[in-house]
């Protein structure tokens, strides 16, 4: 992880050296980051499920009560994010099912506007949708526990892939794959939609181990 973060820092310095006057367009600053559990057998999974909304991570105190719903991203952006994930998962050979049909994988998309974010944000955000939610529920990242990722510009989309099978309500759910698409939600709605789609496509294309 530290090596990868160092690589991105180096890449940023290299890019700035190649463009003395800096980037001319905001989409030149977009960055796509992915990581995964190297011991997880992605090819053995068949089905997946997606929520129909994208959570907006805010400074709001999240209530851990059943039925509580957090704030959601604008439906225009939500549809773009969800449809982009769906098209990539389908293209990789996975089949979408309802969350009640015991999917092999669940993908949890979220977005935020901030200068700093922790991968391990409050799991209570998902209590409104995630099947089998319980008082001890949470998640962790097996084999690649992430450090703080600092100075992420306004507008980032996060995707977490988890496997619900075999997890009790008191367990912390292992995140088998995660992605951060940084630098989005700036510009017109059409420009943002294009950048979101391009960023999510890139996240999947740079994760060849997901292909069945």
Does position 21 have pLDDT exceeding 60, yes or no?
no
Domain residue extents for the chain:
29-210
Report the share of the chain in percent with pLDDT over 90.
Answer: 38
Does position 36 have pLDDT exceeding 70, yes or no?
yes
Chain CA centroid to CA 34, Å = 9
Model confidence band, residue 119 (pLDDT cutoffs 50, 70, 90)? low
Model confidence band, residue 18 (pLDDT cutoffs 50, 70, 90)? very low
Does position 34 have pLDDT exceeding 60, yes or no?
yes
State pLDDT tens for residues 160-177: 999 988 766 667 788 999
Query: Which pLDDT score is estimated for 139?
Result: 67
- Angstrom distance (rounded) from CA 60 to CA 114: 13
What would the two tokens of residue 17 be?
């050296």
Nearest to 76 by CA among 200, 156, 192, 202: 192
**193 vs 98, more confident:** 98
Q: Do residues 35 and 146 touch, judged by C-beta distance below 8 A? A: yes
Q: Do residues 138 and 172 touch, judged by C-beta distance below 8 A? A: yes
Extended beta strands in the chain, E state? 31-36, 47-49, 55-57, 95-96, 105-112, 116-117, 138-140, 149-150, 156-162, 172-182
Q: Do residues 142 and 177 touch, judged by C-beta distance below 8 A? A: no
Work out the average pLDDT over 111-126: 63
Work out the average pLDDT over 109-126: 66
**31 vs 92, more confident:** 92
- Angstrom distance (rounded) from CA 63 to CA 174: 22
Q: 2-16, 41-55, 75-89, 108-122: which range is least confident on average?
A: 2-16
3-state secondary structure 61-112: CCCCCCCCCCCECCHHHHHHHHHHHHHHHHHCCCEECCHHHCCCEEEEEEEE
What would the two tokens of residue 6 be?
């160092």
Q: In a 3-state reduction of DSSP, which class is residue 128?
A: helix
Query: Which pLDDT score is estimated for 89?
Result: 98
**129 vs 177, more confident:** 177
Q: Do residues 75 and 192 touch, judged by C-beta distance below 8 A? A: no
Query: Which pLDDT score is estimated for 70?
Result: 82
Query: Which pLDDT score is estimated for 129?
Result: 77
Q: Of 50-64, 74-88, 101-115, 181-195, which has the strongest mean pLDDT?
A: 74-88
Query: Which pLDDT score is estimated for 17?
Result: 39
**12 vs 93, more confident:** 93
Q: What is the pTM of this model?
A: 0.69
Question: 29-210, which class in CATH?
Answer: alpha beta
Q: 21-25, 48-52, 134-138, 175-179: which range is least confident on average?
A: 21-25
């Amino acid at each position: 992880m530290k090596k990868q973060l160092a690589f991105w820092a180096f890449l940023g310095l290299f890019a700035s050296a190649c463009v003395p006057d800096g980037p001319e367009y905001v989409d030149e600053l977009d960055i796509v980051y992915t990581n995964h559990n190297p011991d997880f057998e992605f090819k053995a999974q068949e089905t997946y499920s997606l929520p129909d909304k994208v959570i907006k991570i805010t400074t709001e105190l999240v209530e851990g009560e059943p039925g509580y719903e957090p704030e959601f991203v604008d439906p225009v952006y939500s549809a773009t994010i969800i449809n982009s994930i769906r098209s990539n998962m389908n293209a990789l050979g996975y089949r979408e099912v309802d969350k009640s049909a015991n999917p092999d994988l669940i993908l949890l998309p979220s977005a935020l506007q901030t200068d700093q974010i922790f991968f391990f944000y409050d799991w209570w955000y998902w209590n409104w949708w995630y099947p089998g939610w319980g008082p001890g529920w949470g998640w962790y990242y097996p084999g690649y526990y992430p450090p703080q990722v600092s100075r992420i510009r306004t507008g980032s989309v996060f995707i977490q892939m988890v496997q619900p099978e075999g997890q009790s309500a008191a367990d912390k759910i292992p995140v088998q794959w995660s992605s951060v698409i940084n630098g989005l939600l700036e510009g017109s709605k059409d420009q943002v939609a294009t950048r979101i789609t391009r960023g999510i496509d890139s996240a999947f294309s740079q994760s060849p181990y997901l292909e069945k």
